[in-house]
A and B are shown apart, each in its own frame.
Chain A
């Protein structure tokens, strides 16, 4: 944070935008995967600095948005179960399940605690031994090590009243699914810096090679994003498709070895349904058998089966970068942050919420 100003410098931003304009000789379409980057692009107006023809499309990188409806319903069901408190990050509380959301369920008597870290949920379990604390484990690779540490801590303390509802999702398998889709229009990719701080970027190398798409690991400040876009455009113009690291101040190729080892020791890849997209092979994480006692789905008898949903919302196409939020007929009319049809309109990292909040009703 000490160097924030350096990465928000208007002069540097404009110089980079001018360099991008000089470099791009034809239209290109680049996807930023991460919802945090989507918000930064709109909040700072980075898209307004880019040359016409250089289109940024928004990817599935909002863990809140892609958490399937059934899981949110199960989280609500847990919160309504006597003797259970559902602990969750703030982000998830407003996202609608099939009938209600966690905040409305809390107003109706369900027990929901907002926490800032999974370890806080473990502390809560230590304080409330007569109640079952279930942590809603949502998030990409970035948040998994914290959850792993929390589960390990719960075992060390001998806590019988702590468990997690696993909803973790992994970026590379989703990116493979999107790039491999017949409707994919993506020519270049900005990979999310935060995710790569943990996992590194080795997993993106086969993706770049298989699909002929440059991948640039990118940070979140305006100068980061513009540098990432410039590197990506240069590769496209030169016909290269490699993985480059714009975010070297935080990311190494191999990532955080210790964190990765901990995650692999406790979690194994599983097929996971992504809201609005469908099931993506090996794109989720489940606790390994040795840790399964901490899995709330194993501990509580929860509803199973898919939830039928009407389909006015086009969040699936938005999350794959196939459509922009304002191309949805319901955008800003029948779908608003107060009355959302889909998760991307409520999540703080949702693309629709970003367009709504930053006034991009007609772009």
Chain B
């Protein structure tokens, strides 16, 4: 301690380049969307799909790009994921998916057999979800300028209800319903990508959820807002809705289902499952009194929290041992810890 000194680096300047964290589903991504895109373009960026009135019909429109690595993972692949992701974004707006477009960016040298498997998987996923892939586009880039293939799907759906599903409709007393256990997709992709071997193989939850989501609406459940839990996981989705709605949401950690194998993998890497990606899970904010009925309509559904009051956009979590903490957006993706 002879040369004791307080040391600290100077603050880093504003980011002058795009970082991976800008796509990680956390605070940096939110900042990028708000300051770079929303400030110049006109997206309805508080929901995953825009709603449009056209010729007396109310439609929903959404688009999503898929860059997952590896392209095949336990429980799915980039093809089926591209269908599920877009179908689910439409469903969250309360829309019955009708048609998708699919645009491919292919890397020179990609094996035709690989591409064929992806396209077959897309076709099968679309058939099961009851949507048609009606148009598309293909581009090929030089080897090394893309990672095998990227897919962008755009979807159009018809709104099946009169109201709007959006954060602004969330109000005091609303109950938060989760459609099933969380964290599987993120951990499945990570274990496949990094060659991590856990005690059992974790399988992605990748699935279309429009039948469950729209089923809530057609059952008369008073749904105010829905959100699928993709990048950033459950926590980021609830935080974003709470902030938009200026609502104080309280979640109960004991009621949030996490499979034991997912939890063990998260512990090992120092990840919080609340922030891990899903591809077949959503939350619904429903009117007070409708929570249990909504949960019963969802396989694996659970009421995990409620809106305590409006005025401040904050999310608190009652921990497994009964203490309370605030949930905040992470800056980017979670990084595995050293020890």
Chain B residues positioned under 8 Å from A337 (CB to CB): 27, 330-331
Instruction: Pick from A24-32, A43-51, A249-257, A297-305 the stretch touching chain B.
Output: A43-51
- Does B44 reach chain A (CB closer than 8 Å)? no
Instruction: Pick from A6-14, A149-157, A203-211, A259-267 the stretch touching chain B.
Output: A6-14
Whether the pair B331, A338 counts as a contact (CB closer than 8 A) is: yes
Chain A residue nearest to B268 in the complex (CB): A1
Given A104-B17, A278-B4, A342-B8, residue A90 in contact with residue B324 (CB < 8 A): no
- Does A42 reach chain B (CB closer than 8 Å)? yes
Count chain A residues whose beta carbon lies closer than 8 angstroms to a beta carbon of B. Answer: 78
Chain B residue nearest to A336 in the complex (CB): B331
Given A89-B337, A342-B8, A359-B326, residue A279 in contact with residue B2 (CB < 8 A): yes
Whether the pair B323, A312 counts as a contact (CB closer than 8 A) is: no
- Near B by CB (< 8 A), chain A positions 266-288 give 275-280
B77 CB, min distance to chain A CBs, angstroms: 23
B152 CB, min distance to chain A CBs, angstroms: 23
| B residues adjacent to A (C-beta < 8 A) | 1-12, 15, 17-21, 27-28, 31, 194, 196, 199, 254, 260, 263-264, 267-268, 270, 272, 316, 319-328, 330-332, 334-339
Whether the pair B270, A14 counts as a contact (CB closer than 8 A) is: no
Chain B residues positioned under 8 Å from A313 (CB to CB): 6, 8-9
Task: For the complex, give the distance between the alpha carbons of A260 and B3 in Å.
Answer: 30
Chain B residues positioned under 8 Å from A278 (CB to CB): 1-5
Whether the pair A338, B28 counts as a contact (CB closer than 8 A) is: yes
Chain A residue nearest to B326 in the complex (CB): A359
- Classify the interface of chain B: helix, strand, loop or mixed: loop
- Near B by CB (< 8 A), chain A positions 75-95 give 89-94
Task: For the complex, give the distance between the alpha carbons of A89 and B319 in Å.
Answer: 29
Chain B residue nearest to A109 in the complex (CB): B17
Whether the pair B339, A139 counts as a contact (CB closer than 8 A) is: yes
- Does A128 reach chain B (CB closer than 8 Å)? no
Given A4-B264, A90-B335, A348-B337, residue A46 in contact with residue B323 (CB < 8 A): yes
Task: For the complex, give the distance between the alpha carbons of A346 and B335 in Å.
Answer: 11
Whether the pair A107, B8 counts as a contact (CB closer than 8 A) is: no
Chain A residues positioned under 8 Å from B5 (CB to CB): 278, 311, 316
Chain A residues positioned under 8 Å from B337 (CB to CB): 36, 89-91, 348-349
- Does A291 reach chain B (CB closer than 8 Å)? no
Task: For the complex, give the distance between the alpha carbons of A93 and B331 in Å.
Answer: 13
